[in-house]
Structure formats: structure tokens, C-alpha cells
Amino acid sequence: MAMEAYEIESMIKEALPDAQVRIEDLRGDGDHYAAIVVSEQFRGKTRVIQHQMVYSALKGKMGGDLHALALQTSAPD
């Protein structure tokens, strides 16, 4: 079962309310997305921890409803 981009954005923003989130459906199939997530909560954390925070926000959907997510994370400039 595929996910809509707005669902991914909503889940991320629920966990990281200050986040600026941009989602792109890479293949138009609802299974392969790219996400850029910018949040103050990422400041001082490693890239691995930042990605784990986003994956946690997706509540187990990765590998199931959401097949692939190319993820870029950062704290605001």
C-alpha cells in the first residue's frame, strides 16, 4: 500500500513541529520519495541521529507502506 506525500509530511511535522519539510515523489508511484527536512531539533546531532529521528516519526511505515525514502536533513542556517 503506497503513501501520499502529504501523509509523510504530516507524520514528520507531528514529531518535529518546527520542521520545514519538502517531499518529492520520485517515480510517481507513491513508494519512492525524496525528503528534505530542516529542523532546529537536529542542531548538534549527527546525520545518523537526524535520520533516525525522521524514521521514528514515520512510525514503522518504512519498508512497508513506504518502500524508499532518500533523506536529506539539516538544522537551519
CATH architecture, range 3-72? 2-Layer Sandwich (3.30)
Average pLDDT over residues 13-23: 98
Instruction: Give the whole-angstrom CA distance, residue 11 versus residue 6.
Output: 9
* Strand-strand pairing, 20-25 and 68-74: unpaired
Average pLDDT over residues 20-35: 92
- Nearest Cα residue to 2 out of 22, 35, 27: 27
Q: Residues 6, 53: contact at Cβ < 8 Å?
A: no
- The verdict on pTM exceeding 0.85 is yes
